[in-house]
Homo-oligomer: A and B are copies of this chain.
Amino acid sequence: MPAWSTREIAELAGTSLRAVRHYHDVGLLAEPERRSNGYKNYGVDHLLRLVRIKRLADLGFSLPQIAAMDDSDDHPEEALRDLDADLTRSIENLEQARAEVRTLIERAAPVDLPVGFIPPETAERLSEADRALMVVVSRVLGPRGLRAYGDLLRDAPVGPIEAAFDDLPADADEATRQALAERMAPRIREMRAAHPELGESRTDAPRGARFADRAIADAMVDLYSPAQLDVLRRAREIVAAGTQPSTSGSDNGAMR
C-alpha cells in the first residue's frame, strides 16, 4: 500500500508543499485518508491527479481552467488551442514592450515622450518647460493634432530669440517684454504659414477641442513665468493686429 506524505507527493510531482495544500483548498485535489495521528496519506491516484495539475499549470492553464477540464480527457484539444492563442497574445504584448524598450536604449531617447512623437535630437534641444508641455499636449491631442505639433517642433528654430525667451527674468520690465514680443511676432507668423494644419490640430482631440485648449493653456500657466506669458500674449496681439481676425478660438501662440 502506497503511503506518501504531503512532502513526498509534492516532491514526486515537482510542486511545493504549499501548492498541494492550495489545490486542496480550491477543490482541485481531493484530500486523502488520514493516519491515526492526523497525517495525510496519499496514494497513486493523488499523485496522478497532482502531476496532471502541475503539468497543465506549467503549460499556462489557470487553476479554474484546470478545474473545468474533464480529468479523464487525455487530450483537451479545444482548451489547448485556446491556451495557444492566449500564449501568443501574451508573447506579442511582451515583444511589443521589448521592442519599445530596445528603441529607447538604442536611440537614447527620453522615456517620457511617446516613441515616434519627436526625434531625440529635437527632444534634446527643448527646454524643461517645453518638454513638459509636450507631454501634456501628447495626452490631450488626437493623432492628427499630434503629428502637426511634432512637425512644428521639428522645424522650430533655435536661436537668440528663443534663448531670450527661455532666459527671460521673472521681473523683466515693460520695455524688455514688448521688445521681445516684437521680435517673436514674425517668427510666429512664419510658423503658422509653414504649418497651416495647426489651425485644425485640436479637431480630433479625444476629449474635445475645448478640453484640450484649456489643458494646454493651464499647463502653460504652470510652466512659464508670468513675464513669459505676458510676452506671448503681446506677441499674439501683434500677429493678430497684422492679419485677419481668426475665426477659430485661441491657439496658444503656435508654440511660444
Residues of A within 8 A of B (CB): 1-4, 11-14, 43-45, 47-48, 51-52, 55-56, 58-60, 74-77, 80-81, 83-84, 87-88, 90-91, 94-95, 97-98, 100-102, 104-105, 108-112, 114, 132, 135-136, 139-140, 207, 215, 218-219, 221-223
Contact = CB atoms under 8 A, between A and B. Distances in A.
B101 A84 contact: yes
Nearest to A71: B112
A100 B59 contact: yes
Nearest to A83: B101
Contact of A52 (B59, B109, B112, B222): B112
A91 B95 contact: yes
A132 B46 CA distance: 11
A81 B105 contact: yes
A76 to B, nearest CB: 7
A50 to B, nearest CB: 10
17 contacts: A2-B215, A12-B136, A14-B139, A44-B223, A47-B135, A48-B132, A48-B136, A55-B111, A56-B111, A74-B110, A75-B109, A75-B111, A80-B101, A84-B98, A87-B98, A90-B94, A94-B94
